[in-house]
Amino acid sequence: MTGAAAEPGYRVWALPGIPEVRPGDDLVKLIAAAATAEGATALADGDVLVVTSKIVSKAEGRILEAADREAAIDAETVRVVARRGTLRIVENPQGLVMAAAGVDASNTPSGTVLLLPEDSDASARALRTGLRETLGVNVGVLISDTFGRPWRSGLTDVAIGAAGVRVLDDLRGGTDAHGNPLSATIIATADELTAAGDLVKGKATALPVAVVRGLPHVVREADAETEADTGAVPGEDGDGDEGDPGARALVRDAASDMFRLGTSEAVREAVTLRRTVREFTDAPVDPGAVRRAVAAAVTAPAPHHTTPWRFVLLESAESRTRLLDAMRDAWVADLRADGKSEESIAKRVRRGDVLRNAPYLAVPCMVLDGAHAYPDARRGAAEREMFVVAHGAGIQNFLVALAGERLGSAWISSTMFCRDVVREVLELPAEWEPMGAVAIGTPASAPGARPPRPADDFLVVR
């Protein structure tokens, strides 16, 4: 109809004629030959080529003789994210989190494995530049690979390399059709394009390249290669040749990754992250995070199905100062009674300032409700020790859970030396036994490297 607006839409088709790719092959020539097989080029300005990573890897010689695929995965693994039996989800050197580090034993000769391209963004840039010089067309290039996804069954293709494509469409700051502000909407355009391309490519039919046409707005102009045109999320890394961040902009950094580890791996990392922190920032502590840590603490094992844990949370500066002043006075009195000099006392008190400098304190207390009474001292002492051990398990849970909340902590024993003072200041029942105090806050600096402690140094096997 004359004057009618064009219907929105796009076309996607596989590019036929790509032969089996071997190490050293020139992918630009192979794709250009396929695109001009019938004389006129099958590519146009604004097209997006979706190229399967396998042919890029083969052309770049990323084929490895490997009788043991697991060893190849080890070599390509930067960090294990999750492990279930022989299946591993890992981070590879490109920062991609995927099964088996992308090491593939399919579509490659027996006894070999195929690694992902060493730098998929650089590979995409080379293809884009080569096709522009060979065919005179300005196309975007995406290099795709197959990913599984958390919470969703099935596989889909995603972009692991990109050049000349606005990989992210940041809609934050705009409004929807109802005028509601968009505050978190960032569209992964490159992944949507690769998934569309995968619908027409063939993993076993020699169709490793797809063409998407009709979305020229996602392709960057060849002479306007500036960071402002990349579609990168503000604050993301925008460095790269000609300011194109490539597919790297799609990879979440550690700080914004809420699902960085699998369950068992997260527990192990939280245990490893738990350190004694003695210097904190003045950032406020989320009381909800502390309460979640308490909920973890009280799942620890305890004798006779008891619950021997109580936590006093000192959330106001006034309550912390009042307790710590009273404890300091009691400590000074003890030191003087021990015959310590005033200079020595002052030094010791200064070393105890870790609690005073923390923005939040918790005082864990032990109660012996449900403890069995025994007529002899031996069994009575063992009964109490069971409760002390259970209380220690609860504190460990508490500290590990705080580490999982990205909070630092220091468990200081001082309240155990002046329990009567603590009970009086905090108005606690007489049967509550303060078991130290936990300083909580945001660490002022990253922890140093922890010296290795091989498990065998602590084992006796019979």
CATH (domain of 234): 3.30.1330.100
pLDDT of 288 above 90 = yes
Tell me: do 344 and 418 sit in the same domain.
Answer: yes
Q: What is the mean pLDDT of residues 204-230?
A: 74
At 242 the pLDDT is 55
pLDDT of 171 above 80 = no
Residue range(s) defining the domain that contains residue 227: 11-62+116-256
CA–CA distance, 327 with 332 (Å, rounded to integer): 9
Confidence bin at 313 (pLDDT 50/70/90): very high
Q: What is the mean pLDDT of residues 169-191?
A: 78
At 86 the pLDDT is 78
At 203 the pLDDT is 62
CA–CA distance, 188 with 177 (Å, rounded to integer): 20
**What is the tens place of the pLDDT at every residue in 38-87?**
776 789 999 999 999 999 999 999 988 877 788 888 889 988 888 877 78
Q: What is the mean pLDDT of residues 229-234?
A: 39
In this structure, of 136-145, 231-240, 305-314, the range with the lowest mean pLDDT score is: 231-240
Q: What is residue 433's DSSP assignment?
A: E
Q: Which two tokens stand for residue 129?
A: 């530049």
At 183 the pLDDT is 67
Tell me: do 386 and 290 sit in the same domain.
Answer: yes
Confidence bin at 14 (pLDDT 50/70/90): very high
- Contact between residue 188 and residue 251 where contact means Cβ atoms under 8 Å apart: no
Tell me: do 245 and 336 sit in the same domain.
Answer: no
At 352 the pLDDT is 65
pLDDT of 244 above 90 = no
Confidence bin at 109 (pLDDT 50/70/90): confident
Tell me: do 21 and 132 sit in the same domain.
Answer: yes
Q: Using CA of residue 91, residue 455, residue 448, residue 300, what is the dihedral sign?
A: positive
Tell me: do 385 and 433 sit in the same domain.
Answer: yes
**Strand runs (DSSP E) across 85-235, as ranges?**
87-91, 97-99, 112-114, 140-149, 152-163, 169-170, 186-187, 209-213
Of the candidates 239, 115, 233, the one whose C-alpha atom is nearest the C-alpha of residue 168 is 233
Q: What is the mean pLDDT of residues 418-444?
A: 95
pLDDT of 169 above 50 = yes
Tell me: do 36 and 178 sit in the same domain.
Answer: yes
Q: What is the mean pLDDT of residues 138-159?
A: 91
Tell me: do 211 and 248 sit in the same domain.
Answer: yes
Confidence bin at 37 (pLDDT 50/70/90): confident
192-224 burial code (b ≥16 CB/10 A, e <16)? bbbbbbbebbeeeeebbbbbbbebeebbbeeee
- pLDDT averaged over every residue in the chain: 87
pLDDT of 237 above 60 = no
Does residue 22 lie in a domain region? yes
Backbone conformation region of residue 396, classed left if phi is above 0, alpha if psi is from -120 to 50, else beta: alpha
Among 211, 232, 256, the domain-final residue is 256
Q: Say which CATH number the domain at 448 has.
A: 3.40.109.10
pLDDT of 6 above 60 = no
At 204 the pLDDT is 58
> Per the structure, how many domains does the chain have?
2
CA–CA distance, 89 with 146 (Å, rounded to integer): 13
Tell me: do 155 and 212 sit in the same domain.
Answer: yes
Of the candidates 171, 167, 170, the one whose C-alpha atom is nearest the C-alpha of residue 219 is 167
Tell me: do 302 and 229 sit in the same domain.
Answer: no
Among 196, 228, 256, the domain-final residue is 256
CA–CA distance, 128 with 209 (Å, rounded to integer): 14
**What is the tens place of the pLDDT at every residue in 326-382?**
999 999 999 999 998 988 888 888 766 788 889 999 999 999 999 999 999 999 999
In this structure, of 20-34, 214-228, 242-256, the range with the lowest mean pLDDT score is: 214-228
Give every CB contact of residue 219 below 8 A, 6+ residues apart in sequence: 45, 46, 47, 48, 138, 139, 140, 164, 165, 166
Where does residue 35 rank: exposed (0-12), middle (13-18), buried (19+ CB within 10 A)? buried
